[in-house]
Structure 1
Amino acid sequence: MLVLTRAEEQIMHKLWSLKKAYVKEVLETLPEPKPAYNTVSTIIRILERKGVVGHEKTGKSYLYYPLLKKDEYKKQSLKKLIHGYFEGSFANMASFFAKEENLSTTELDEVMKHLKDQK
C-alpha cells in the first residue's frame, strides 16, 4: 500500500487541482509560510520515485503531472483508515463520525440515500 507523508499529500493535492505544473506554480499555490523552492522540488522528485508523479521536459524545466488518480488514492486512504482504526468495519466508522459530528437525522438520511444509490 502506498504511503504518502503529509507534505507529499499536500503537493499531490496541488498537482491534482493544477493538472500540470512547474515547481514554481505549485509553490505559488501553497499557503504561507511557503516552503523553499528546493523543498517543493525535492518532494516532487520523491513523488516521482514513488511512481505517482511524472514529468515532461520543456526546455530547461520540467512540467509535472500526477500519475496517481485522486480517486484511487482516496479509496486506498479510506481503506487504510477503516482497517487501522475501525476494525475494518465501515459501519463502525460511519457510527463514529455520526456521533462526533452530531449529524442530524436529515443528514443521516442523505448518507443512507447515497449508499442505496451506489448499489
Structure 2
Amino acid sequence: MKELTKAEEEIMQVLWELDSVFVKDIITQLPEPKPAYNTVSTIVRILQQKGFVGHEIHGKSHKYYPLISKEAYTKSFMKGFVKRYFSGSYQQMVSFFTKEDKLSLNELEQLLNELKAKKP
C-alpha cells in the first residue's frame, strides 16, 4: 500500500470520519485557510488513482468514499515505519518511545493490558 502525503492524509481523515462526501463537504471539514475547490478535487482524484477512494455519480457531481479503512492504512503505515526506523523490531520501537516519553514500566504494562482487553 502506498503512503499518503500530508494533504492526502488530511482528506482521507475526513473521508474516514464522514464515510461518503462531496468535495464541498471535505472542504468544510478542513482547517483554515481552506484550500481551493480545485485543489481538493485534484487530491481526491489522485487518491482514486492510488486506490484509496471510490465514487458514486450524483447528477453532475461525484460523492466520494474510502476504499481502504483507517485501520488497514494504519497497520500498513506502521509496518513500514517500524521497518524503516526500527529495523522491523517493534521491541526497539517500544523501547525508543518508552525512553523518549519517559513512559514507566507500570504505564506500559497498563497500556498493554488495555490493548489485550480490547482484542476479541
Q: Please, what TM-score do these two structures have when normalized by structure 1?
A: 0.92
2:37 aligned with 1:37, yes or no? yes
| Structure-to-structure mapping, 1:102-117, within 5 angstroms | 102-114=102-114, 116-117=116-117
| Structure-to-structure mapping, 1:92-107, within 5 angstroms | 92-107=92-107
| Structure-to-structure mapping, 1:70-89, within 5 angstroms | 70-89=70-89
| RMSD of Structure 2 on Structure 1 (CA) | 1.6
**2:9 maps to what in 1?**
9
Instruction: Tell me how far 1:51 sits from its aligned partner.
Output: 1.1
* In structure 2, distance between residues paired with 1:22 and 1:50: 19
**1:21 maps to what in 2?**
21
Gapped regions of structure 2 (runs ≥ 5): none
3-state SS in 1 of match to 2:55: strand
Identity %: 53
3-state SS in 2 of match to 1:32: coil
* In structure 2, distance between residues paired with 1:87 and 1:116: 25
* In structure 2, distance between residues paired with 1:109 and 1:44: 41
Question: After TM superposition, which residue ranges in structure 1, 4 or more long, deviate above 4 angstroms?
Answer: 114-119
Instruction: Tell me how far 1:116 sits from its aligned partner.
Output: 5.0
* In structure 2, distance between residues paired with 1:90 and 1:114: 18
Aligned residues: 119
* In structure 2, distance between residues paired with 1:64 and 1:98: 39
3-state SS in 1 of match to 2:74: helix
Q: Which moved more, 1:51-60 or 1:109-118?
A: 109-118
